[in-house]
Structure 1
């Protein structure tokens, strides 16, 4: 169960960030790593990735995590991970393509296949960030964005929804209201509300899992939180299919 106390969750997150710093201290990009100088950056900037523990300026950090062309992507992830994670939880990382893109940056590094200590440090960071987000009234990154990020980074939705289900902090219900408001257009169009690089089959399974969870667990919490009736109807409609959804008198009139 996630913590009801933002202070305790914050201490756990601080410890997880410290764990990343200790675990990945001294890491560098692969010696022969390179990227397109005209699109990514200069040779001097590339050299910084091969120097341990040098803080990157925000623009270089952004270009580094967004760049698609690394030969040894895992080494680049390990090199910038402590600084990147700290900026991420502080709300200093922006992505025009959505926070799922942040999760994919981690996933492309195949961190779950790293040595046990490294993989555990990443897993603890993701868990602690979500644990910190749920009870926090005003997180730096909205819960629906954090969920997209950690789901893509880990390749699964289940543990994150389970944690949300068991968290009874008032803020967790407020985050649920915000998430449904953010997601309902996509879900009523039978689409996952964030982009994923999973196969069509896996994407369909993830969508079905999210829909089932919302239908089973969201309505009562939204009602207890005082969500407007229109939002409650949209959750109900998400659980319907075909004409039963579109012909319902509470269909919001979305066009796709």
Structure 2
């Protein structure tokens, strides 16, 4: 993948190249198997045990979406260079949201891999997130955020990057995220599906709300966000009747 001369793009390009080098020659476990009726044929399975052969898009999608691999980590390492490139290009086509792709990373427990493997994965996620904040990338920033949160099981690093990355474009992405998330947050729900049992949905929601209340107010105003959206984020700081009876309650029904 070739990027124009832009620091965040260069960083992302280098991260993708590093994934390709790091995971070159990787294969699924020789004894790996899956149901021919629900996943794919034996011929397709053999491709996962063959290194460095590009998978056709539907096979790649079925592979990262499958939840029943015996050794998901090995399967993930096999597909990672191609998977990451497809993610950045916005061609993953998840059934629900991009968190699905993140949970494929989580199932692989990539953070427990040796440093020379986990490091390139971490750098890819941070490089993609940085690029999404600094330009109008193919995949909207709030979707990249959700993917990174689902992949890592934490919001902290991604919120810290967003806090540091100020300016009109990053603030505009924040306004788009607030617009996307306010309905679920005002209903005391996380705005994306938690598909990995080790992740704490309520803890994530509380952390996201606290961060928005602390950091979003000024940035939403500076981004030109509507007064209505600014009030909806303000309402996250109220609970119970104070929230529902506020004159700016948007009338959401849950």
Structure 1 pair 175–23 and aligned structure 2 pair: CA distance change class (3 A): same
Distance 1:120 1:13, change over 3 A: same
Task: Note the 1:224-235 alignment, pairs <5 A.
Answer: 224-235=222-233
The separation in 1 between residues aligned to 2:218 and 2:165, in whole angstroms, is: 14
Task: Tell me which stretches of 4 or more aligned residues in structure 1 moved more than 3 Å.
Answer: 197-201
* Higher normalized contact order (CA 8 Å, seq sep 6+, divided by chain length): 1
Unpaired stretches in structure 1, ≥5 consecutive residues: none
Q: Give 1:238 shift.
A: 1.1
State the partner residue of 1:238: 236
For the residues of structure 2 that align with 1:32 and 1:202, how far apart are their CA atoms? 33
Q: Is 1:171–2:169 an aligned residue pair?
A: yes
Q: Is the 8 A contact 2:106 2:196 kept in 1?
A: no
1:192-217 deviation line (CA, Å, top 9, x unaligned) = 11111466993222111100110110
Contact 1:28–1:51 (8 Å) recurs in 2: yes
Q: How much has 1:169 moved relative to structure 2?
A: 3.3
- Note the 1:1-256 alignment, pairs <5 A: 7-136=6-135, 138-197=136-195, 202-256=200-254
SS at match of 1:59: helix
TM-score, scaled to structure 2: 0.96
Q: Distance in 1 between the 2:172 and 2:10 partners?
A: 22
Q: Does the CA contact (< 8 Å) of 2:129 and 2:158 recur in 1?
A: yes
Query: Kindly tell me: are residues 212 and 195 of structure 1, through their superposed partners in 2, closer, same or farther at Cα, counting changes over 3 Å?
Result: same
SS in 1 for 2:15: helix
Distance 1:6 1:221 in 2: 28
Q: 1:201 to 1:111 in 2, by over 3 A?
A: closer
- Conservation of the 8 A alpha-carbon contact between 2:100 and 2:195: no
Q: 1:6 to 1:128 in 2, by over 3 A?
A: farther
Aligned partner of residue 134 in structure 2, secondary structure? coil
Give me the whole-angstrom Cα distance separating, in 2, the residues matched to 1:242 and 1:203.
Answer: 20
Taking the aligned partners of 1:242 and 1:200, their CA distance within structure 2 comes to: 29
Residues 186 and 12 from structure 1, CA distance in 2 versus in 1: closer, same or farther, beyond 3 angstroms? same
Confirm or deny: 8 A CA contact 1:111 1:122 kept in the other structure: yes
Per mean C-alpha deviation after superposition, the further-off stretch among 95-104 and 193-202 is 193-202
Describe the shift of the 1:229–1:129 C-alpha distance in structure 2 as closer, same or farther (beyond 3 A): same
For 1:170 and 1:239, the matched residues in 2 are separated by: 25
Offset at residue 52 of structure 1 (A): 0.3
CA–CA distance in structure 2, aligned partners of residues 185 and 214 of structure 1: 14
Q: How many residues align?
A: 251
What is the alpha-carbon distance in structure 1 between the residues aligned to residue 16 and residue 178 of structure 2? 30
Note if contact 2:65-2:104 (Cα within 8 Å) is conserved in structure 1.
yes
- TM-score normalised to structure 1 length: 0.95
What's the RMSD between the two structures over aligned residues? 1.5
